[in-house]
Amino acid sequence: MDDPFNILGPELDTPPTFDAAVREAVTALEQAAARYDELAGQVQPESFTDEEWRIIESAAQAVEEAVQRAEDGYVAVAYDSHAWYRILENLQQVLLRLESAIGLMESVEERRTRD
C-alpha cells in the first residue's frame, strides 16, 4: 500500500541502499570528471581571469586529494564501519566542487565564443 503522506513520489518510499548510494556517487563523479577534462581541453587557460583560474585549479586539487582520502578511507573501513559514510561524504563534496568548476568553465567558454 502506498504511503498517503509521501508527497515526493513512489520512488522515495524506500531509501536507496548504501551500496546503491555509493555507486550513484561514483558514477556522478566519473561523469563530472569526464566533463571537467573535456572542458579543460577546450578552454584555453588565458581565457580565465586569475580568480577563475584559481577556482579551476582548486577543483583539480580537490579531486587529487579526494582520491588520496578515499584510498586512506578504504583502509580505515577495516577498523571503523563509519568510514564508509566519510568516503561517501567526501565523494559528494568533490562532486560539488567539480560541478562548480564545470559551470565556471562553461561560462568562460561562452564568454570567449561571444567576444
How far apart are alpha carbons 5 and 30 in whole angstroms?
Answer: 35
Number of independent structural domains in the chain: 1
Flag whether the pTM goes above 0.85.
no
Evaluate whether residue 99 is within a structural domain.
yes
Look up the domain containing 52 and give its range.
16-114
pLDDT tens per residue across span 10-55: 655 566 677 787 788 889 988 999 999 999 899 888 899 999 999 9
Would 60 be classed as within a structural domain? yes
Integer Cα distance of 48 and 3 in angstroms: 50
Which residues contact residue 66 at a Cβ distance below 8 angstroms, ignoring those fewer than 6 apart?
90, 91, 93, 94
Given a cut of 60, whether residue 113 has pLDDT beyond it is yes
Q: Cell 561562452 belongs to which residue?
A: 110
Whether 5 is covered by a domain: the verdict is: no
Residue 57 lies in a domain: yes
